[in-house]
Amino acid sequence: MSSETAPPAERATGPGSRGRYPKGVKRRQEILDRAIEVFAEVGFEGASLRAVGEAIGVSHAALRRYFATREELFLEVLREKDRQAIAEARGRDDSRLGLAESLDDYRSTVPGLMALRHSMVARALELGNERSRDFFRTRYASLRAEALSTLLLAREAGVVRADIPLEAAAALLIATLDGLSTQWLLDPGVDIHGGIVLLERLLEPAPAPR
């Protein structure tokens, strides 16, 4: 049952708590950063704990002082990338849908990291990997919530049809980004941008009557 072996610096990253281990969190962040680089280079399968450790100049066993398991390290990498993406996304929030920008976010990540995300989602779908499952379930939930609020604004601004259920539309938006990216990753000839703008157009209120 793997009953809670109490990983050291688990939830000790909050800034305003009691006593911290400044050395510890710093090292942890360093591992995270180097791990991202390794993923970007060799992808998910190539990024063994030993490979990551070697890139830092540390044995693979040492990594487990900061990340209880390989899966945990992977999830933390994704969390970190999400944080970075959110930080970059600030400041360009208008009432437009802005799907093209979301797409650029998606694509800006190096190929290795895109593969990482896909591999992690796949793992989350497997039996057993509850941690990954929970992570992605809440991640997609918040993605949908974010899309929903954007859609609400867009509808008020009049750029989205008023007769469609926005919850379904939100799920549809996220699904489109995911699915088109998959096809584009497999075959760069696929016009992913065309698919995005098509969906954006389909959501618009009235097709110009002529």
Q: Which residues bind a copy of itself (CB under 8 A)?
A: 42-46, 111-112, 114-115, 118-119, 121-128, 133, 136-137, 140-141, 144, 161, 163-165, 167-169, 171-172, 174-180, 182-183, 185-187, 190-192, 194-195, 197-199, 201-203, 206-207
Q: State the Cα torsion 25-30-35-37 to the nearest 10°.
A: 150
- By CB under 7 A, tell whether 133 contacts DNA: no
Q: Which does 190 bind (CB under 5 to 8 A by kind): a copy of itself, DNA, none?
A: a copy of itself
Q: Which does 4 bind (CB under 5 to 8 A by kind): DNA, a copy of itself, none?
A: none
Which CB, 120 or 196, lies closer to DNA? 120
Distance CA 52, CA 12 (A): 23
Distance CA 78, CA 87 (A): 14
Q: How far is the CB of 1 from a copy of itself (least distance, A)?
A: 18
Would you call 65 exposed, middle or buried from its count of C-beta atoms within 10 A (0-12, 13-18, 19+)? middle
- By CB under 7 A, tell whether 59 contacts DNA: yes
Which are the contacts of 50, defined by CB distance < 8 A and separation ≥ 6?
60
- Tell me if 98 sits within 8 A of 92, measured CB to CB: yes
Q: How far is the CB of 29 from a copy of itself (least distance, A)?
A: 26
Would you call 67 exposed, middle or buried from its count of C-beta atoms within 10 A (0-12, 13-18, 19+)? buried
Which CB, 65 or 81, lies closer to DNA? 65
- By CB under 7 A, tell whether 13 contacts DNA: no
